[in-house]
Amino acid sequence: MANDQASYRTLIDQILATAVDSSTWTDAIKDDALRHALSIYDHIPVTETSFTVTGTKEKQDLSTITAIHKIIAVAYPWADAASFSELQRPFRHIDDLTIYFEDIEPVISKIIRVRHTTLHAIKDLDSAAATTIPVRHTRIIALLGAAAACQLRLRQLSENPAIPASATRTLESTSEWLSAQANELLQAIRIPTTPPNWSAIGL
């Protein structure tokens, strides 16, 4: 499975069957496509991290959480085996990764449980030291990258009046098809950020 920049480039080639035309499907296109794929993927998988309060105040800077991308929800005061939904607290953003608790003042040394998305990397892409994408999600990134590569090529071809419309239509339909496949896989890994309302569902 892919674990670095070169491997992901190869996967995109395999999906697009473009390995024989490296002058058209350049590494620059594939790398930009991978960046686009990561920008989409980073919004989807949700994880939880325990954050130790360092100052007793409503305002809490959570930017020290490794590779944190977006804060989804917080629970306080946290303890092992606690219920996140029961301890969930209302908050508002006052800076990119700084929040303000609206109903409580966290106390120093206590734990805030943070539910958040994470920034991911591919080894060697933009000098990243390691790949942080789970192996089971490799194909999602490859499909998103292949779809983005089609869009980038489409943009190039649109500037050339000698290119027949049929060529651009093929790229457009291929991009849509690959995006649909990727979105199906992304739906499977989405984690609800709030418990389901069973009474509204009818169960």
Q: What is the pLDDT of residues 64-111, one digit of tens each?
A: 999 999 999 999 999 999 999 999 999 999 999 999 999 999 999 999
**In terms of pLDDT, which residue wins out, 23 or 98?**
98
Write out the residue range of the structural domain in which residue 9 sits. 5-42+120-189
pLDDT band for position 1 (50/70/90)? low
194 in a structural domain: no
**Rounded mean pLDDT of 39-47?**
96
With beta carbons less than 8 A apart as the criterion, state whether 102 and 91 touch. yes
The sign of the torsion formed by the CA atoms of 124, 125, 128, 132 equals negative
Task: Give the C-alpha separation, 40 to 25, whole Å.
Answer: 21
72 in a structural domain: yes
The sign of the torsion formed by the CA atoms of 139, 145, 148, 154 equals negative
pLDDT tens digits, residue range 57-75? 999 999 999 999 999 999 9
Strands 98-101 and 111-118 come out as unpaired
With beta carbons less than 8 A apart as the criterion, state whether 82 and 112 touch. no
Is the predicted pLDDT of residue 203 greater than 50, yes or no? no
Q: Residue 96 to residues 69, 71, 194: CA-CA distances in angstroms?
A: 9, 9, 22
Provide the domain count of the chain.
2
pLDDT band for position 165 (50/70/90)? confident
200 in a structural domain: no
The residue written with tokens 């989405």 in the block is 190
Task: Give the C-alpha separation, 40 to 35, whole Å.
Answer: 9
132/173 same-domain check: yes
93/127 same-domain check: no
138/104 same-domain check: no
